[in-house]
Amino acid sequence: MSHLDDLPPTPGKYKVVPYGVLHNHRYLRLSKLTLWASLFLALFLFYLVLSAPPSPSRRSLNDSSVKYGGSHWEKQVRKSARPRSRGGLTVLVTGAAGFVGTHVSIALRRRGDGVLGLDNFNRYYDPKLKRARQGLLERSGVFVVEGDVNDAVLLRKLFDVVLFTHVMHLAAQAGVRYAMQNPGSYVNSNIAGFVNLLEVSKAASPQPALVWASSSSVYGLNTKVPFSEKDRTDQPASLYAATKKAGEGIAHTYNHIYGLSLTGLRFFTVYGPWGRPDMAYFFFTKDILKGKTITVFESPDKGSVARDFTYIDDIVRGCLGALDTAEKSTGSGGKKKGPAMFRIYNLGNTSPVPVTKLVTILEKLLKMKAKRKIMPLPRNGDVEFTHANITLAQTEIGYKPEVDLEAGLKKFVKWYMGFYTGSKKKSSW
């Protein structure tokens, strides 16, 4: 079986719909209170990062193990970023060796776009998995530059070598609970790194259009369901959520001042092959196979915690839809020449599933009974439920989730068994 067989089907380019016709201003304008609160929070967190110790996972350009530049390096960069189809995009994908980044990069490359990856290969989870994803990218013709989005020198070098039409910004410090252990890493990556990328992008001539990963976590303690882009997002339940919300406020500022075309995507619990080991479906699978007890949380009223699980193929189609419909930035060299597009979309499955049912499906697929331990949901940043209203994304970028949880978990389990246990049913992807 080809290593591409389990890839998301190549999404076709979605026809651009005139922006002014469909996008009602009430969906786009943040309330003054929310905007100023977001900016204040962003500035406060940005200040904190100045005093935070550098993450041991970050690699400085002064480190002799990090090499870039030279004719061979530039040749690799240009070759990877060169579109293979007429009219193809030229996309810088940050966090390219991450879960979503790998799938998006390969999908773009498969349809003929030029793709250059950037990733710092940090140790938040097993870097061997990231290196394995890097192997997939290389076999698909995607070169991954090893570096950090906080490295302005490297970013400017990349923008000098390649004229990017788009940036898909997926690099981030993920995870809700880890923020209680290492808060500085979230500020460093999700705020400082994003600002650094925006600074380099706004100085480019012409400026690229940017699509970046926000999160469903921004809805925080909101109790109105399903979550709509119009709902309040000023009650974050975790530092991770706060940094993602701050990112939305910062993006709005760069759009307003510098004319950058910006689209934020609020992902809802993404799962699938090559996923993140810190996600429940992933470590539940690992522990069930090892016969270990798994902890399943319940809400204070003894109800089940539920998530709007969204399969990776559907997320990829949403990402490509956002790239394809993104209008050009209106600035050049840091100067705005007119109003630019600013959008926020939910990307979810719009069908929340109790975590208890997730476990039941895994038991069926793994043919093993889970040892469950029911515990009250701790106050560590997790919320009781998520549920996406995807009407706006359906209308404007053609987003339409197709994979239900059982079908998606079946594909994940097949990949997991092959990758970690050497099962004969292994898919080479």
State pTM to two decimals: 0.84
| Amino acid occupying residue 7 | L
pLDDT above 70 covers a percentage of the chain that reads: 82
CA gap 304, 296 in Å, rounded: 9
> What are the residue numbers of the active site?
240
CA gap 366, 375 in Å, rounded: 23
Q: Which CATH architecture has domain 172-270+311-348+386-402?
A: 3-Layer(aba) Sandwich (3.40)
pLDDT of residue 247: 97
Q: What residue has token string 């076709």?
A: 12
Using an 8 Å Cβ cutoff, are 250 and 198 in contact? yes
CA gap 247, 190 in Å, rounded: 7
Across the range 363-368, mean pLDDT stands at 97
Among 238, 239, 240, 236, smallest CA distance to 222 is for: 236
Among 176, 272, 255, smallest CA distance to 215 is for: 176
114, 173, 251 from 297: Cα distances, Å: 43, 24, 35
pLDDT, one tens digit per residue, over 322-331 is 999 999 999 9
pLDDT of residue 69: 73
248 phi, psi to nearest 5 deg: -65, -40
385: β partners:
306
Using an 8 Å Cβ cutoff, are 383 and 337 in contact? no
CA gap 20, 341 in Å, rounded: 9
Residue 17 has pLDDT above 70, yes or no: no
Pairing mode, if any, of strands 306-307 and 353-354?
antiparallel
| Amino acid occupying residue 94 | T
CA gap 75, 64 in Å, rounded: 21
pLDDT of residue 327: 98
Among 113, 108, 107, 106, smallest CA distance to 88 is for: 113
CA gap 166, 403 in Å, rounded: 28
CA gap 104, 310 in Å, rounded: 15
pLDDT of residue 415: 97
Least confident range from 92-101, 211-220, 419-428: namely 419-428
Residue 253 has pLDDT above 80, yes or no: yes
Residue 423 has pLDDT above 90, yes or no: no
What confidence category does residue 38 fall into, taking pLDDT thresholds of 50, 70 and 90? Answer: low
CA gap 92, 210 in Å, rounded: 9
pLDDT of residue 284: 97
3-class secondary structure, 311? strand
pLDDT of residue 380: 61
